[in-house]
Amino acid sequence: MVSAQLHLGVAIDAAGHHPAAWRVSAAEPAALFTAGHYLTQAKLAEAASLDFVTLDDTLALQPGGVDVVRGRLDALLTLSAIAPVTSGIGLVPTVTTTHTEPFHVSTSVATLDYASRGRAGVLAVPSRSDAEAAHFGRRPAPAEEDAEAENAEVVDVIARLWDSWEDGAIIRDAATGRFIDRDRLHYVDFEGRYFSVKGPSITPRPPQGHPVTVVYDGPHAADVVLTRATDLDGVRAAVARFPSTKVLATVAITLAETAQAAWDRQRALDALIPFEPEGLSFVGAPAQLAAELPKWAAETGVAGFHIRPAVLPDDLELFAGEVVPALRAAGAFRDGYAGTTLREHLGLGAVANQYQGVRA
Partner 1 sequence: MTKQIKLAAHFPGVNNTTVWSDPASGSQIDFASFEHLARTAERGKFDFIFLAEGLRLREHAGKILDSDVVGRPNTTTVLAALSAVTTHLGLAGTLSSTFNEPYEVARQVASIDHLSGGRAAWNVVTSPDAWTGKNFRRGGFLKREDRYARAEEFLATVRELWDSWAPGTLVGDKENGVFAQPGSFVHSGPQFDIRGEFTLPRTPQGQPIVIQAGDSDEGREFAAKAADVIFSRHGSLEDGQAFFHDVKRRLATYGREYGELLIMPAATFVLGDTEADAQEHAREIRLQQVRPETAIQFLEQVWSRDLSDYDADGPLPEIDPDPDAEPLTWGRVRHEKDQLALAAKWRSVAEEKKLSIRELVIEVTARQQFVGTARTVAEEINSYVQSDAADGFVLVPHLTPTGLDAFVDTVIPHLQELGVFRAGYSGPTLRENLFTTR
| Other CB atoms within 10 Å distance of the CB of residue 137 | 8
Computed from CA positions of residues 319, 325, 330, 331, in that sequence, does the dihedral angle turn out positive or negative?
positive
138 binds partner 1 per the rule CB under 8 A: yes
Per-residue contact flags (x/-) with partner 1 for residues 48 to 67, judged by CB under 8 A: ----------xxxx----xx
Contact 228, 188 (CB under 8 A): no
H/E element, 23: helix 21-24
Give the total of residues touching partner 1 (CB under 8 A): 73
Question: By C-beta, is 58 or 266 nearer to partner 1?
Answer: 58
Residue by residue, DSSP assigns 60-98 as SPPPS-TTS------HHHHHHHHGGG-SS-EEEEEEE-S
Amino acid residing at 303: A
Site for partner 1, residues 200 to 259, rule: CB under 8 A: 200, 202-204
Per-residue contact flags (x/-) with partner 1 for residues 141 to 170, judged by CB under 8 A: ------------------------x----x
Contact 311, 15 (CB under 8 A): yes
272 binds partner 1 per the rule CB under 8 A: yes
Site for partner 1, residues 7 to 46, rule: CB under 8 A: 22-24, 28-30, 33-35
19 vs 70: CA distance, rounded Å: 10
Question: By C-beta, is 35 or 326 nearer to partner 1?
Answer: 35
Contact 143, 129 (CB under 8 A): no
Question: By C-beta, is 130 or 257 nearer to partner 1?
Answer: 130
24 vs 244: CA distance, rounded Å: 41
Site for partner 1, residues 289 to 318, rule: CB under 8 A: none
77 binds partner 1 per the rule CB under 8 A: yes
72 binds partner 1 per the rule CB under 8 A: yes
| Other CB atoms within 10 Å distance of the CB of residue 292 | 16
| Other CB atoms within 10 Å distance of the CB of residue 257 | 12
Site for partner 1, residues 88 to 107, rule: CB under 8 A: 99-104, 107
134 binds partner 1 per the rule CB under 8 A: yes
Find the shortest distance in angstroms from Cβ 176 to partner 1. Answer: 9
Find the shortest distance in angstroms from Cβ 202 to partner 1. Answer: 5
Q: Which residues contact 79 (CB under 8 A, 6 or more apart)?
A: 38, 53, 55, 91, 92, 93, 112, 116
The stretch near partner 1 (CB under 8 A) out of 1-9, 175-183, 280-288, 320-328 is 175-183
261 vs 265: CA distance, rounded Å: 6
Question: By C-beta, is 201 or 300 nearer to partner 1?
Answer: 201
Question: By C-beta, is 113 or 322 nearer to partner 1?
Answer: 113
Rounded to the nearest angstrom, the gap between the alpha carbon of residue 224 and the centroid of all alpha carbons in its chain is 9
Question: By C-beta, is 70 or 295 nearer to partner 1?
Answer: 70
267 binds partner 1 per the rule CB under 8 A: no
Return the residue of 87, 143, 144, 178 that touches partner 1, per CB under 8 A: 178
Find the shortest distance in angstroms from Cβ 258 to partner 1. Answer: 26
